[in-house]
Structure 1
Amino acid sequence: MEPLSAEDPVRIGPFRLLGRLGSGGMGRVYLARSAGGRTVAVKVVHAELAAQDEFRRRFAREVAALEKVGGAGTAPVLGSDTGAGAPWVAIAYVAGPPLRTVVGGEYGPLPPASVRSLAAGLAGALEHVHAAGLVHRDLKPANVLLTVDGPRIIDFGIARAVDTVTDGGLTSTGALVGSPGYMSPEQVRGERLTPASDVFCLGSVLVYAATGRPPFGAADSGVHATMFRIAHDEPDLTGLPAELDELVRGCLAKDPAARPTAAHLAAHVEAADPWLPAGLLAQLGRLAARLLDEDGGPDQEGPTARDGATGAEGSAARDGAATEGRTTGGDANGGDANGDAPTGPAAVAEPPGRPRPRPRRGRRRLVAGVVAVVAAAAVAVAYATAGHWDWPGRPGGGTTTAGDEQPGNVVPAAFLGAWEGVLKGTDTAPYETARIEITKGRPGDKAGVYVHVAGERLCMGRSTLVSADDDTIVFGESDVTTSVPAGRCTPAAHQKLTVRSPDVLQWSSGAASATFRRARSGPEAVPAALVGHWDDVPHPDVADPNQDLYSHEVIITQGPVGAPLVRFEQSFPLTDEETGEPLPGGDTVNCASTAVLGGAGTLLVVGPATPDTAASDRACSPSGASSNLRIQRVGGEDRLLLYGMDADGEPGEFSKEK
């Protein structure tokens, strides 16, 4: 939360302002107190929107509709003046973190019972919203707050009013209102939205809550690619617990008519009691108490108190100019589609000319974590002590330990380096592997580089450090840097690694867990014995008179993980489709492809090979599966064995060129 400036009002309506929570494309948001001491958030509309009569009329109608919702699963309206020079609305202050902060930060994906409870609570809230004639249009993890009593939906109402002063649901720049990773197919296509659109978005939110990833990828993989997947592809439900599959798939039906209504979900999805794990509930309670205490202060006003409407209108005009050129649509991973951004330290300083309350000890260490407010609601989330949540039972109790002399580094030296493990299969026959290379850093830094290799894809990216102590390191939000094939990867979810021995870490992400061991890293990650040219060894039990017409070579070069270090070259004759015999004339097909190195532990793991079109003929088939390579001693010489990671089968066998 930012302190009030000299131009900010000290009051808006009956509410005394405490500080500024954020500002964006629709207006400016203030934290305030009512005369009775209730904490509220007041949103003041920008002057350029307030000057448009049609916007004012729609805003007034929708504020009235929000009042009918009555705060059921939402933040209730506590006051408004839609006829003021700068229209405003006051909403109850919700002291709870966004779902995005909890799942994308230190806690990670929620257990299935909590996800079902989340579904029931959000469906109940949407039922009331839809009954009031509203469509939320931007339901996403950043707009869902978690409280002790259940989830709350924020940030809706204004987006619909904007439609009447723009072009059929588009902004003046032609951008859709909403967040690409959490849109519905009809929203992507720019069609008229119904309550069914919110149900689709609810399904996407539930997938994120259960897995830590959006079902259609995030905007960092390309906004247009994400929107195409929403409209045409099936959701990626990797890691979704089986008991949630039917619920989620129903919400994510492409046909709006095939989706359940919010009322149906509210009536048929049973919530657990308690609805969240005990440790998380306890932390939410402590956070709420801490926030309410932080926002307090004596009601002191000097002789320079300013009129709320006039001052707010001026600040709205300035903010509107400052945000000109902003892209509407938001961050698919949770940034506010309307530009209301997170703010900084939560200490409230009084503007010049106003008495400044004496600060309490320890307040400067509280940090406002997330603010996501657009006319219908607001929230400020504080992080305790070192910038992360002090989860009960976490080793170290919230303290951090410096890994070395680097200023601000919190990663212990024991974690530095590369670690690899098998997620599916065994150490000698893996079907899915993961790797993370940890560097020095502070909370918020991209201090982890991960690689995930499955049967038909390789995903690589960077993960944000959340916290680290002597025993545990936690990574939160990630972005994708490499996807093979292109567009197939979604960002890695929350990851937690715990020390078991100097060379072994226990890795977990949601319900998945694995044992990670130290692995090679750096510019020479490939074992020297594997580097070189390897030729196919004919199968000893197969006699083929045309064997000399076929060749298969594997070329392995030295380099780091993440580089295309393995090349496959093949040549074979054109054959008769019926007999399989080479055609007369000796025409030969030449094919080449390369694969990215994804692991350098006990095995060399590579992703799916990508065809080298410049060195390949048209008759070549695209390569498909990831593979792992190892050396085995056969008859006194080294043999390279190549196993596919998509199915069981005999390995390819290669001997090294002399």
Structure 2
Amino acid sequence: MEPLNAEDPVSIGPFRIVGRLGVGGMGRVFLARSAGGRTVAVKVVHAELAAQDEFRRRFAREVEALERVGGTGTAPVLGSDTTAAAPWVAIGYVPGPSLRTVVGDEYGPLPPSTVRALGSGLGRALDHIHGAGLVHRDLKPSNVLLTVDGPRIIDFGIARAVDTVTDGGLTSTGAVVGSPGFMSPEQVRGERLGPASDIFCLGSVLAYAATGRSPFGTSDSGVHALMFRIAHDEPDLTDVAPALTGLIRACLAKDPAARPTAAEIAETLPFVDPWLPAGVLARLGRHAAQLLEAESAASAREAAGDTAGAAAGETSDRTRGGAAAGDATAGRSAGPVPGPEADRPVPRTRRRVLTAALTAAAVAAAAGVGYALWPFGGAGTTTRDGKGTGSASSSSSASARPGGAVPAAFLGAWEGVLQGSPEIPRETIRIELVQGSPGAKTAVYTHVGDNRLCMGRSRLVSADEDKVVLGESDVTTSVPPQRCMAAAHQTLTLRSPEVLEWSSGTAKATFHKARTGSAILPAKYLGRWRMKPLVDGPDADRYTDEVTITQGAVGATVFRSLNVYPRTDEQGNTLADAVNCTRTAILATTTPPYVLGPMALEPGADSECVSDHLGSYMVLTTYKGEELLQVYPMVDTEPGEYHRVD
């Protein structure tokens, strides 16, 4: 990231600019933060493109289409203004290095298992992009970001708007639009592009990942010579592992019809976890630290700088068509920072956030790997011990069990936030203590991180009047399966009858007394809620996005999501049948906002359905007298917004 210069804006729409990420063929890209602390990348279109009416119209249509992609393997759109003097679009920032940086500058060619996982992740992302009716048109190593949860594609779809105001693949000056070393033969010839064009580019990207070079050479001998080789010559796959050559050659077939589809690639290739070499994972940790340093510096500047400007930036946490002060669209409203049981206006953009947040999960995962408590991987089961234990008000429990060692003040449930804040949780833990002797399993824990829910029991090591130490644990619930490890040693230190301090290794948090019981959720949360249709026209009734909330205890399944939409063919045309996806989530806390574990697909789900490995939390509010249920993923992205059905 580079510092801002005198010509750069200090804010764009509701986003305060932190630094400059780079300059591309479309425009300048800035790292920015919303008033609520969300990190985004804002792309501002170049003036020469913004001056062309046709480009503006296509750009607006493309931004609308990008929101339908759903964020799977990509970065979600968080705001835009296509009517501003300088049109812009903001997407969720993914703090991971690009494939070009990792392979070209830091690590070198990746091992075959990583390349296969890369192909699987990119295939899935392209399948969703193509399903939304988009063609990326500029898939290249610098547009692929690497995160701990898989690759992410950025800058998709926008290049399509450029093509409408240029002659095929060339501008009026003869400059190539896109990246010649990673173009398809049909793109080189200026023909109409379909999803198969992206598959050819995917083949080139995988070859680059495996060897560190483009399969058709460089442009040292001239751009047109390189483009000729793409259109007519066979790829150079020297040094590509035999296990990869078949797939890459199939992707690089000159005939678009002979190439596999993105769905076929995703289904064929395995995705192992962890998928990146240790050296690259270490790079991700350094990248996350640099981002935190940059944001801390920006926060310090904001605190010491223009407080009036900062207050103005808090008028909106996200816009769809928002604007900076002085713009014609400045009066459009959007939702402020979420808070429990608070009234807030309805954000204008509607999209399937519970699925879209799969992309944004990479942000939190890259930044939060340092915790010693329950890291990714490890053994676990999917069984759940549903016995309710403990009572926050039962001071007689100590005498009810002979030999009990836990002081009465510790008995009951305690909840705390490990990352984020009570209003915007990013990682939470709940511990419920019952009476018992040292060596007995006296604690039940429920832990929700950025991509997993872990429940289990911990043994009592020692206890005195102001401190309880928990040791060996086992896992009783893991969502997704096999993602949890047994909890580490934990120390609980009593500060008051309602507050204790929790620590595990270097992690620390403040816990507060919480409720127990089998009926946790207020009655006003219960029932069916539905999101407004994401599309207009005669097919609008073919799209359903609704949730049903039922009563239950912590550890019970209380949240059920139903998502129905038309199935599409390879060209993006809707078919007669529909995809029907039902997902469920477990309640994890008793204090609003109510935290849920990651969404899990119900058995027998359609093959196109994907699990949402991301925790979330529910907030109930009102807007213009109407109840509104907002479901926020536990990462920097926007909520799903649901209206009551019954």
TM-score by length of 2: 0.46
Normalised to the residue count of structure 1, the TM-score between the two structures is 0.45
Structure having the higher Rg: 1
